[in-house]
Amino acid sequence: MIVTTKKLFAAAYGKYAIGAYNINNLEQTMGLFRGCIDSQAPFIIQISKGARSYTHKLMLEGLIRAADQVFPEAVFAVHLDHGDEASCIDCINSGFYSSVMIDASSNPFDKNIEITKRVVDAAHARGIVVEAELGMLGGVEEHVQVDEANALLTDPNQAREFVDRTGIDSLAVAIGTSHGAYKFSGTQGLHFDVLAEIQKRLPDFPLVMHGSSSVPQDEVERINAAGGKLLGAKGVDATQFKRAAELGVTKINIDTDGRLVWTRVHREYFRDHPEEFDLRPIGKLFMGEYAKFIAGKNEKLGSAGQLESVKKMLA
Ligand code: 13P
């Protein structure tokens, strides 16, 4: 069942966070649904601009509609990740997406508000909810590339005004994470002080944490042992998810860790089966590993086991 992120956030606020997972193909879609059913978790499917144009924008839509029938017990939102104004309007008009993110965060404050507000007006007219970003994460995400030197933490003093003037439904905050596999160095971590200040100014308002992959070291080591060349990388400590949830984070975005699962499975498989050329054995292996990965993340987010209570709330 497709629902808006707003409904999922109402159920989760202050208690746990909903996993928002980026998908690009059939195998990820199957693994995602299976993992969320296995762990009995509500979830958010994220489709980026790049994922929409990877084959054709209708392809992922078709896969998700089919998965909704294959897994009728699933409860999820379909969300455009890091849209610009044009892609947001396209998704709003598609009648398929329940939520869009407008990322105008690289603009000055007033311009960010102006663009975001236009998207909110168009989305709300069709019952679709909007996430927007204030502050700037470092790293690379689709068309958005921000050097660490230019990454900006969200200013808590601007957060209330931004929400009031745009009418958004959730706010993506920059509290020290970055996109991609290369996030933190040394002992750097999340800025819970900034998050607490934002929550004070926006009590009960759903916050979103991007760039939340953990980049597990054992995964990186396995990839490199199978021929990969990933440099030293460190991600978000997943034991911090619950603390973030208590401070108002209701959506946690994870993409890179899923890509690492894909890379590890494929590198190891072809290293160990050099004679193999069939797509399906490796596809099946990946779907199983991806489902396990998703279920494990949902445990850490606290969303595992919440499906029944969400369904009751929606009834
Ligand atoms: P990661 O690169 O940490 O997985 O973050 C993904 C993300 O924030 C997508 O919007």
Tokens of 119: 């998207």
Angle formed by the axes of helices 279-301 and 26-38, nearest 10°: 40
| Ligand 1 binding pocket includes 105 (Cβ within 6 Å) | no
pLDDT at 39: 98
Which atom of ligand 1 sits closest to the CA of residue 213? 3
Q: How far is CA 214 from the centre of its chain?
A: 13
Q: How far is residue 274's CA from residue 110's CA, in Å, rounded to a whole number? A: 56
- Enumerate the H helices of the chain as residue ranges: 5-12, 26-38, 49-54, 57-70, 85-94, 109-124, 156-166, 192-201, 217-225, 241-246, 256-272, 279-301, 307-314
Q: Does the pLDDT value for residue 151 go beyond 80?
A: no
Query: What digits encode the pLDDT tens for the residues 54-100?
Result: 999 999 999 999 999 999 999 999 999 999 999 999 999 999 999 99
Out of 81, 103, 169, 255, which one is annotated catalytic? Answer: 81
Work out the average pLDDT over 221-246: 91
**Are 32 and 21 contacting, i.e. CB atoms less than 8 angstroms apart?**
yes
Q: Write down the pTM of the prediction.
A: 0.94
Query: What digits encode the pLDDT tens for the residues 120-130?
Result: 999 999 999 99
Q: Which of 256, 263, 300, 301 to mutate to test the pocket of ligand 1 (most atoms within 8 A of CB)?
A: 256
134: phi then psi, degrees, rounded to nearest 5:
-130, 130
Query: What digits encode the pLDDT tens for the residues 238-263?
Result: 999 999 999 999 999 999 999 999 99
- Residue corresponding to tokens 């236009």: 118
Q: How far is residue 256's CA from residue 235's CA, in Å, rounded to a whole number? A: 10
| Ligand 1 binding pocket includes 197 (Cβ within 6 Å) | no
Query: What digits encode the pLDDT tens for the residues 101-145?
Result: 999 999 999 999 999 999 999 999 999 999 999 987 766 555 555
Q: Between 124 and 188, where is the model more confident?
A: 124
Cα Dmax for the chain: 60
Percent of the chain with pLDDT over 70: 92
Q: Which of 213, 259, 294 to mutate to test the pocket of ligand 1 (most atoms within 8 A of CB)?
A: 213
**Are 91 and 82 contacting, i.e. CB atoms less than 8 angstroms apart?**
no
Work out the average pLDDT over 173-201: 82
Q: Does the pLDDT value for residue 189 go beyond 90?
A: no
Query: What digits encode the pLDDT tens for the residues 10-19?
Result: 999 999 999 9
Q: For residue 81, indicate whether it is catalytic.
A: yes
Beta strand 76-83 pairing with 43-48: parallel
Report the run of H or E that residue 206 belongs to, with start and end: none
pLDDT at 234: 78
Work out the average pLDDT over 188-207: 93
pLDDT at 273: 97
Q: What is the mean pLDDT of the chain?
A: 93
> Which of 50-54, 146-150, 208-212 is least confident?
146-150
Residues making up the chain, counted from first to last: 315
